[in-house]
Structure 1
């Protein structure tokens, strides 16, 4: 059905040749998807081939407009034109094919009345020449139904992978020879390239090399319009330093922020370079301040791209909050479960002289903090900052010439098993961690029990929980018991976690700061925060996008 036309300032979607039918379906009040003519699966987002049977025949199909409410979050923090906060962002599973989900808004019911498993029905709202499919609870409500299960199920992820068939791994041909970090702070007001150069010079010196020894450059996400999240990429750094690399790499579509390191390993293993400088710079805090002062113009326009931004899901926090909600619903984890992660990271940061937040944090502080987007509060979210991090990846045959013992790469995990779209992927864990984590253990004879220290991505507390379960430090759905009280993840616990404070308290360094801390820990150079006898470290990188994970060790 269609609501009466009304003026709205909500940005409209940007239809293209493939998606125009979807965004204009509401003209007659009917919801439509592309459907496979061979197996009848709904194909969403629209593709030229069915991912289930790989058939090439598709047609536009009208569906009932009924769906199951499988997730929702009440957004308090992130404003969106036409949607005064707080507002509900939700995900629904389509009745005809629950594998297909839509990110949407719930209308017609207060957030406190919503329950997972409710029956929903579509109602369209016009935005310019497009129609947004919103959903409201159906008038007649049966008992809530169980949420759809993932395919593959998290508990069976490893069944979809095979052990590495080669006898000599590329990981054996590369080492991490140096690491460096720039200044870090909330608003340094320094040009980002200055921070990049600072970190890179430190990393090269730490490796006992000079810039003339560097013959490769690798970064994430590379050049382009990444406001606050890059300095200009390889091009900018090469222009500043004049390294003249024989190999270079810069990309966002890789194995998370640490993908630059995995790419560098492949380069030195293949003989393309001997010493590759990998770097990552963020200056989000300064960028935001410059926007506020009018020194930088934010992107403008009346359109919202993608499948979830038209509904105000403009932050990863909004999307990941729904995964956290489903984990709580299915496995019984709680806000306190996430709180133990936040408290642990703050305790580590108190021992790091450069951490952004070092003040004590209690569970009462955590639980009473202002809401960001349910169930996340302020301390579930990492700290925007300005910083650069760099490491040098060297060919293994150069080890004898290095001044410090190298960090060996035991294995990497990179495989995509889930669907890559954020709102079509895993329901109960952070998307893009389960397959990569399972892949890691197929490339080594080591096991989770061999890990001495874990540096796990914590853009949000729930990122950490997902990696802990995915990597097998506890069973799927067992994080509530594993994290209870925080003892297991303390510096002297069974799995010392982010002893420098992680991104939650040390600062949002987008994964590379975790790698830097792993190097420091394995060298025994962490001072007051040092984990005793750390010889093996696992470092995860990213999530919500194709991510990666590395298992590092020392020769000792």
Structure 2
């Protein structure tokens, strides 16, 4: 069932590493570009939404909340939300779509801002649970004593199990990393543009076996804005609206990384099954894939979850060249988070929209009309199907 909501504009700041720029400067830049993209002004925006809301649990992970952004941009809103507990980084887009579909707002500005690169110190490292705090709680308190200090360890467990079950090798994961770097070389915004060979990939230091340096996404400073509009309001925007055909957010397992019944699947499988149950479209109808790649191993999981190949078949699907430049199902054409930089999924959606509007330059997928976007790793995930009519 098609939702009465569409994406009408996207914008990204000048991202980089250790930029030293305040998060609000990045956010304002991204917002201006998104408004220009949509042909809207700030007076048209009547809703604002983010993930996860302002938080200090990890340096630079979420320095801005809806209130201060609303004030800084001079917005007059009648609806706002921050979603810390939902279908991963996709949550604010989903909630915004529901808001415009039910008349709570007409145009919602959804944002994600990070300064993880500039905010780290010797004592406070990004993406380390409870960094700088005296105590840990929740499921962190079970993992950290086992020396599983970050998501690289948790993803490493998953990768080890998957490789054991299905014979995937580091070379297969290297094809993900090198393929996305090849795309990044055609993306002026990507933070990693130097060529990456398989030799470079295999020779890089190990982070959490079997995941090496180039299997991990790149912390950056930056912001991304996505404008979600009601279907009737979207028709008056500058670009062809990108209709949200379907969303999926099912959660079918325990909320832990290590207690899922089958560690060769993750929350993506629940969310994608939910998505396909809400549309008549099929995986074969998709032109562009934007798949969460906090770690390279997530890409084969998402490929299987969306149904582009069978369970355990991703290694062959990747080796056959389907996901890289020139492939039938190109993945993360802007370089993804492995080469483009970590904007917690928002950058992936930005690239999917760029492709559907035909603005991809040297990396443009010919006649792209449909895209899937999956965000999240481990037990939670959100999935989206977009189309350009």
Aligned to 1:345: 180
> TM-score, normalized by length of structure 1?
0.66
CA deviation after TM superposition for structure 1 residue 307, in Å: 1.5
- Residue 262 in structure 1 maps to residue 94 in structure 2: yes
**Structure 1 runs of 4+ off > 6 angstroms?**
290-293
C-alpha distance in 2, partners of 1:430/1:474?
13
CA deviation after TM superposition for structure 1 residue 376, in Å: 0.5
- Residue 489 in structure 1 maps to residue 323 in structure 2: yes
Match of 1:240 among 67, 72, 85: 72
Matches within 5 A, 1:286-435: 286-288=118-120, 299-305=131-137, 306-429=141-264, 431-435=266-270
Alpha-carbon displacement from aligned partner over 1:11-44 (angstroms, at most 9, x marks no partner): xxxxxxxxxxxxxxxxxxxxxxxxxxxxxxxxxx
CA deviation after TM superposition for structure 1 residue 249, in Å: 0.8
Matches within 5 A, 1:466-545: 466-484=301-319, 487-545=321-379
C-alpha distance in 2, partners of 1:523/1:464?
24
CA deviation after TM superposition for structure 1 residue 301, in Å: 4.8
Change (3 A) 1:383 1:444: same
Match of 1:252 among 66, 84, 89: 84
Higher relative contact order (CA 8 A, sep 6+): 2
> TM-score, normalized by length of structure 2?
0.94
Alpha-carbon displacement from aligned partner over 1:109-134 (angstroms, at most 9, x marks no partner): xxxxxxxxxxxxxxxxxxxxxxxxxx
- Structure 1's unaligned 5+ residue stretches are 1-168
CA deviation after TM superposition for structure 1 residue 291, in Å: 6.3
Query: Greater CA radius of gyration, 1 or 2?
Result: 1
- The secondary structure found in structure 2 opposite 1:433 is helix
Change (3 A) 1:174 1:508: same
CA deviation after TM superposition for structure 1 residue 228, in Å: 1.0
- The secondary structure found in structure 1 opposite 2:89 is coil
- Residue 461 in structure 1 maps to residue 296 in structure 2: yes
Count of paired positions: 381
Is 1:420–1:432's contact at 8 Å kept on the other side of the alignment?
no
More helix by share: 2
C-alpha distance in 2, partners of 1:228/1:403?
33
Change (3 A) 1:290 1:396: farther
Aligned to 2:36: 205
Aligned to 2:276: 441
Change (3 A) 1:370 1:269: same
C-alpha distance in 1, partners of 2:122/2:257?
30
- The secondary structure found in structure 2 opposite 1:313 is coil
C-alpha distance in 2, partners of 1:520/1:240?
27
- Structure 2's unaligned 5+ residue stretches are none
CA deviation after TM superposition for structure 1 residue 349, in Å: 0.4
C-alpha distance in 1, partners of 2:62/2:300?
27
Calculate the aligned-residue CA RMSD, in Å: 1.7
Match of 1:285 among 117, 130, 138: 117
Is 1:265–1:393's contact at 8 Å kept on the other side of the alignment?
yes
- The secondary structure found in structure 2 opposite 1:455 is strand
- The secondary structure found in structure 2 opposite 1:509 is coil
Stretch of structure 1 that moved more, 537-546 or 382-391: 537-546
C-alpha distance in 1, partners of 2:122/2:233?
44
Aligned to 1:118: none
Is 1:281–1:388's contact at 8 Å kept on the other side of the alignment?
yes
Stretch of structure 1 that moved more, 526-535 or 225-234: 225-234
Aligned to 1:128: none
More strand by share: 1
CA deviation after TM superposition for structure 1 residue 344, in Å: 0.7
Match of 2:55 among 220, 224, 249: 224
Change (3 A) 1:398 1:266: same
- The secondary structure found in structure 1 opposite 2:52 is coil
Stretch of structure 1 that moved more, 537-546 or 518-527: 537-546
